[in-house]
Amino acid sequence: MAFDTLVVKKIVSELSEKLTLGRIDKIYQPEKDELLLVIRTKTENLRLVLSASSNNPRVHFTEKNKENPLVAPMFCMLLRKHIQSGKIIGISQPEYERIIMFDIESRNELGDLTKKHLIAEITGRNSNLILCDENYRIIDSAKHIDFLQSTVRQILPGGQYIFPPKQDKIPILSSSIQNADLDFSNDGEKCESVIMDAVSGISPLTAREIIHSAINTNAYTAGEISEDKRQAITNTVRNFNKNLHFAPCIIFDTLEKPIDFSAIAILQYGESYKTVFFDSISEVIEKFYSCRDKRERIIQKSASLTKLLKNNIERCAKKLSILQKTLNDAKDKEKYKIYGDLVTANIYKISKGDRRVTAENYYAPENPTVEIALKETLTPSENAQRYYKLYSKLKNAEIEVKKQIESTISELEYFESTLSLTENLDSETDINAVKAELADLGYIKRQKSGKRQKIVQAKPLHFVSSDGFDIYVGKNNTQNDYLTLRFANSSDLWFHTKQIHGSHTIIKLGINKEVPDRTILEAAQLAAYYSKARESSQVPVDYTKIKNVKKPSGAKPGMVIYDNYNTLYVTPKNIQ
């Protein structure tokens, strides 16, 4: 993505304007590689995110709240000790790198004024958050980098902080860029690669934009362009700083999905993609990364839960296959009873040691002859009893297998339903709620802790329709049961995708019992959106009054039956 040196320069400018001389009021660490600073200025309180995520490193202002751990991590506690209540006296971008340095003035335990440096390295998978003293001695960092991880540069408490090694290129923001010399001698090399081989601090997106502004296209290789175009590209690179104008923007594809962002105007896509401009690069970064980063973190945190559910689904499917085979085998049970009867009827002509007997099957039309296998070591009577026992065994197995098939199908549906609901999880509290549900059912062991921790209860999703009606959506099976069986009144409307795993959705009627068609449509769209059919269209959604919804005795969480319903076909949509 385009978190290049231009984005850093622009965000540093915005941060300096708003945060210089501001005081760090609160420090949180919602993730192991992410900080949230609440900074008090003369006019307002601002919330600043510093993330060293390997996939989505970034620094920006935010208005969103994020769930914090009940016990602050050690790095967070250390930051609170050293820089909480400290004053930000400077924010800079050293050496044109993707590094943001906060100079913070604070008092130590003795009351002496000290200077600290909080350094955010926004360098892809090597991103880090580092706290140093005034002499750049490392106090601690979000990620410790030892000799086993890097022989070039270690980040460890007590070590001396050094900047990342410089590339043998000219920084795009330095005055030396006027002397840049591009090598177009490799005919097969893309022009954007030619620029990036000589210039540091720019992303492929910015390199392509330079080419587009120079020759009105970016599709050429070095060997496909004339000497005039090569010179035009070189001149554009050399004059880049002179013509630099910041215009923060996000590029959206035809499905309105953000695909990239930039600190400068991006015109290379023409009308193929949509470019939306913003006043603030911080707003751009938050809009681009927030949902993406949140979803990736939830996927990571729920990986073990997802694996558990998938393993149980596979186990149930295998068990069901075996049970079906056993049931099919039991269909031949009557044959063994007949063999027992025929052996008994012909016992006079059977001797111990015979391997088979041929008898008339008087149970079948026209009495055809049938050859029956015998065990040589058994007497004629014992051979007859063997077939009767086999018949009895299969008969009893058929009864038991039918019960097990019913139980296994119920179990399989539960796991598939729970797996589909994991796509709706948006916090660690939601993940823990599903794990607690599985622990209650005995599928996983309940985690034991020496300290009794406060359990935070996850809440169902709440929406308000265009007509002002409250709509609630369950995020797990326990919430589905709560909404349907305890929270809703008998006249409230209940929605669920037809024969598709998904969330229970409720319209609370309150005093007004007349529900407009628009609200019914929106509730159906939500039920479809929070189901396994989210990516489909024309999804069937059943709806009825709560009084028509029942939970069978012994059914697992989230499992209900219903009647007297109507069906709508809708395209899934989140109405927020």
Q: Are residues 180 and 217 in the same domain?
A: yes
Nearest to 463 by CA among 345, 574, 546, 362: 574
Alpha-carbon distance of 11 to 110, in angstroms, equals 35
pLDDT tens across 270-316, in order?
A: 888 999 999 999 999 998 987 676 677 777 778 888 898 999 999 99
* Domain span holding position 70: 5-141
Alpha-carbon distance of 120 to 131, in angstroms, equals 9
Confidence band for 406, pLDDT divided at 50, 70 and 90: confident
pLDDT tens across 61-105, in order?
A: 998 888 888 899 999 999 999 999 999 999 999 989 999 999 999
CATH number for the domain that contains residue 264: 1.10.8
The tokens describing 444, both together, are: 């996983």
Cβ atoms of 387 and 292 within 8 Å: the answer is no
Nearest to 424 by CA among 557, 310, 526, 561: 526
Query: Last residue of some domain: 237, 264, 279?
Result: 279
Cβ atoms of 221 and 187 within 8 Å: the answer is yes
Residue 79 lies in a domain: yes
- Structurally, the chain folds into a number of domains equal to 4
Alpha-carbon distance of 538 to 366, in angstroms, equals 58
The alpha carbon torsion through 347, 351, 354, 356 (nearest 10 deg) reads: -10
Q: Are residues 390 and 465 in the same domain?
A: no
- Burial zone of 537 (CB within 10 Å; 0-12 exposed, 13-18 middle, 19+ buried): exposed
Dihedrals φ, ψ of 99, to 5°?
Answer: -135, 135
- Checking if the pLDDT of 452 tops 50, the result is no
- Checking if the pLDDT of 423 tops 80, the result is no
Instruction: Calculate the average pLDDT of the chain.
Output: 90
Give the per-residue pLDDT at 367.
83
Q: 10 Å Cβ neighbour count for 434?
A: 24
Residue 272 lies in a domain: yes
Residue type, 90: G
Residue 430 lies in a domain: no
Give the per-residue pLDDT at 104.
97
Q: Are residues 346 and 235 in the same domain?
A: no
pLDDT tens across 513-558, in order?
A: 789 999 999 999 999 999 989 888 899 999 999 999 999 988 888 9
Residue 161 DSSP symbol: P
Residue 216 lies in a domain: yes
Q: Can you point out the beta strands (E) in 280-337?
A: none
Alpha-carbon distance of 29 to 69, in angstroms, equals 8
Looking only at the bridges linking them, the beta strands covering 138-141 and 128-132 are: antiparallel
Residue 130 lies in a domain: yes
Alpha-carbon distance of 118 to 134, in angstroms, equals 10
- Checking if the pLDDT of 226 tops 80, the result is yes
> Angle CA(198)–CA(199)–CA(201) in degrees, nearest 5?
150
* Residue partners of 88: CB distance under 8 A and separation at least 6: 19, 20, 21, 22, 23, 24, 39, 102, 103, 104
Alpha-carbon distance of 46 to 22, in angstroms, equals 9
pLDDT tens across 95-132, in order?
A: 899 999 999 999 988 889 999 999 999 998 899 999 99
Q: Are residues 131 and 188 in the same domain?
A: no
Residue 153 lies in a domain: no
Query: Last residue of some domain: 390, 421, 452?
Result: 421
* Residue partners of 530: CB distance under 8 A and separation at least 6: 424, 461, 473, 475, 502, 503, 505
Residue 253 lies in a domain: yes
CATH number for the domain that contains residue 72: 2.30.310.10
Q: Are residues 115 and 238 in the same domain?
A: no
471 three-class SS = strand
Cβ atoms of 461 and 449 within 8 Å: the answer is no
Q: Are residues 262 and 324 in the same domain?
A: no
Alpha-carbon distance of 190 to 174, in angstroms, equals 24
Q: Are residues 62 and 15 in the same domain?
A: yes
Residue 290 lies in a domain: no
Give the per-residue pLDDT at 166.
87
Give the per-residue pLDDT at 457.
64
256 three-class SS = coil
Q: Are residues 373 and 473 in the same domain?
A: no
Please compute the mean of the pLDDT values over residues 492-504 and round it to a whole number: 93
Confidence band for 576, pLDDT divided at 50, 70 and 90: low
pLDDT tens across 563-572, in order?
A: 999 999 999 9
Q: Are residues 414 and 472 in the same domain?
A: no
384 three-class SS = helix
Give the per-residue pLDDT at 456.
55
Give the per-residue pLDDT at 447.
66
Portion of the chain with pLDDT greater than 90, in percent: 57
Q: Are residues 384 and 501 in the same domain?
A: no
Q: Are residues 183 and 131 in the same domain?
A: no
Q: Are residues 17 and 128 in the same domain?
A: yes
Residue 487 DSSP symbol: I
pLDDT tens across 173-183, in order?
A: 999 999 999 99
User: Of 82 and 325, which is predicted with more confidence?
Assistant: 82
Give the per-residue pLDDT at 116.
97
